[in-house]
């Protein structure tokens, strides 16, 4: 990679870090809810050092080369989304199926969503929706440790995608904190402020609890079920959002890592524009989970697959093409929108769409976006073709 590109990328990273400090200024003081005191821990921002050097003749010549395939802005095509029966529909009441990518946990991919990468996902890949997964509590960091930093980071990325007309899912990505009530006050603060900023923006979708699971944080004898744990939490958070945003879609996680959608269908929430999360990994989940999903649909529950993978549920195990095709047939038959996991992850999971660890491609090339096929994993190459509605690409290794 030549020194000019290195200089440009250094500027992008510096500018991005400056922009990330400014998002909360969009809110006038009187609209801010009371701020919940954050957990006492300090998390330093990841600093990326880009050193300008002379071109190295031994560096790979493969460069970013994908180009725009889609020129229409999704929000200009569909407008204000709503729910009709079990379907997501556009402003004219016509059925819509959004397709796109989910980020990895944002706490592990600092400033990944550059302008160039947003262009790539929306225009080159044809994503009509991108999910921003804001991990609430990771192993050693997360939103609960530094709310101001991560709040600004989420809405900065959201702004870049909204500028390109993409629908954006703001995902409160609980996982290790499987009971959403564990950090409920922070969730109320997060979604109150987000809805105050984006309440008039038709691009925004709120996902208020990623994968509820396990037992209650304050009583291990109580399972994180729908009626007693998740639904009461959801009602309170939805009310906080609706105080600022009466129209945009809200997505609610369901029990057992967002798989027991049939349980939620027996006692849905009284809000016309609420949908419910279904998650699957093609190598681990099959007909039994589709049967549960079909039961929920038959009971009138509108589903949105905000996370699915081509791999095992561990993220590994390669691409399960046949099993994925079975799932896609089900999703298409029921007009279910989806986001694939994941883009920009910091590990070597086979579900990761980019080959992040490689001797062949530099981090600068990855942040530059417009990735050539050689920079995509088998899953990434396959899923990109699915999003674009092209003939599925199945890479056959030599």
Active site residues: 211, 307
Q: How far does the chain reach from its first CA to its final CA, in angstroms?
A: 27
Q: For residues 394 and 267, what is the distance between their CA atoms, to the nearest angstrom?
A: 41
DSSP type of residue 37? P
Please check whether residue 224 is in contact with residue 195, taking contact to mean a CB–CB distance below 8 angstroms.
Answer: no
Strands 167-173 vs 204-207: parallel, antiparallel or unpaired: parallel
Structure tokens at 330: 């089900």
Please check whether residue 107 is in contact with residue 135, taking contact to mean a CB–CB distance below 8 angstroms.
Answer: yes
For the stretch 327-358, what's the b/e string if a residue is b when 16 or more beta carbons lie within 10 angstroms of its beta carbon?
bbebbeebbbbbbbbbbbbeeebbbbbbbbee
Q: For residues 346 and 357, what is the distance between their CA atoms, to the nearest angstrom?
A: 8
The residues near 333 (Cβ < 8 Å, ≥ 6 apart) are: none
Q: Which long-range contacts (CB under 8 A, 24 or more apart) does 37-40 make?
A: 38/144, 38/145, 38/146, 38/147, 38/148, 38/186, 39/144, 39/145
Please check whether residue 254 is in contact with residue 224, taking contact to mean a CB–CB distance below 8 angstroms.
Answer: no
Q: Is the peptide bond before 30 cis (omega within 30 degrees of 0)?
A: no
Q: For residues 18 and 366, what is the distance between their CA atoms, to the nearest angstrom?
A: 21
DSSP type of residue 226? I
Q: For residues 206 and 127, what is the distance between their CA atoms, to the nearest angstrom?
A: 18
Structure tokens at 78: 């569909």
């Amino acid at each position: 990679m030549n020194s000019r590109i290195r200089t440009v990328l250094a500027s992008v990273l510096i500018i991005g870090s400056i922009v990330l400090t400014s998002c909360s200024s969009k809110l006038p003081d009187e609209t801010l809810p009371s701020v919940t005191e954050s957990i006492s821990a300090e998390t330093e921002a990841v600093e990326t050092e880009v050193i300008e050097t002379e071109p190295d003749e031994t560096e790979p010549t493969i460069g970013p080369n994908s180009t725009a395939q889609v020129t229409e802005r999704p929000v200009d095509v569909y407008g204000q989304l709503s729910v009709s029966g079990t379907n997501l529909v556009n402003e004219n009441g016509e059925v819509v199926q959004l397709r796109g990518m989910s980020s990895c946990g944002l706490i592990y991919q600092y400033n990944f969503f550059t302008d160039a990468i947003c262009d790539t996902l929306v225009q080159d890949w044809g994503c009509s929706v991108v999910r921003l997964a804001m991990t609430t509590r990771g192993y050693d960091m997360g939103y609960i440790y530094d709310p101001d930093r991560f709040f600004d980071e989420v809405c900065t990325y959201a702004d870049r995608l909204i500028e390109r007309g993409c629908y954006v899912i703001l995902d409160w990505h609980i996982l290790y904190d499987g009971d959403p009530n564990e950090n409920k006050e922070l969730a109320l603060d997060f979604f109150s402020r987000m809805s105050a900023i984006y309440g008039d923006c038709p691009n925004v979708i709120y996902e208020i609890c990623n994968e509820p699971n396990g037992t209650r944080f304050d009583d291990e004898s109580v399972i994180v079920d729908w009626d007693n744990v998740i639904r009461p939490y959801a009602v309170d958070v939805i009310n906080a959002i609706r105080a600022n945003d009466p129209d945009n879609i809200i997505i609610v996680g369901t029990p057992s890592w967002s798989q027991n959608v049939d349980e939620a269908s027996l006692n849905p929430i009284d809000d016309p524009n609420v949908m419910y999360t279904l998650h699957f990994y093609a190598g681990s989940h099959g007909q039994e989970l589709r049967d549960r999903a079909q039961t929920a649909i038959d009971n009138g529950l509108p589903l949105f697959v905000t996370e699915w993978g081509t791999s095992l549920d561990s993220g590994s195990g390669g691409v399960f093409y046949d099993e994925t095709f079975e799932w896609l047939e089900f999703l298409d038959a029921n007009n279910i929108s989806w986001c694939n996991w994941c883009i920009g992850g910091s590990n070597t999971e086979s579900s990761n769409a980019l080959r992040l660890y490689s001797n062949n491609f530099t981090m600068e090339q990855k942040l530059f976006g417009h990735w050539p096929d050689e920079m995509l994993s088998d899953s990434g190459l396959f899923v990109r073709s699915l999003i674009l509605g092209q003939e599925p690409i199945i890479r056959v290794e030599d």
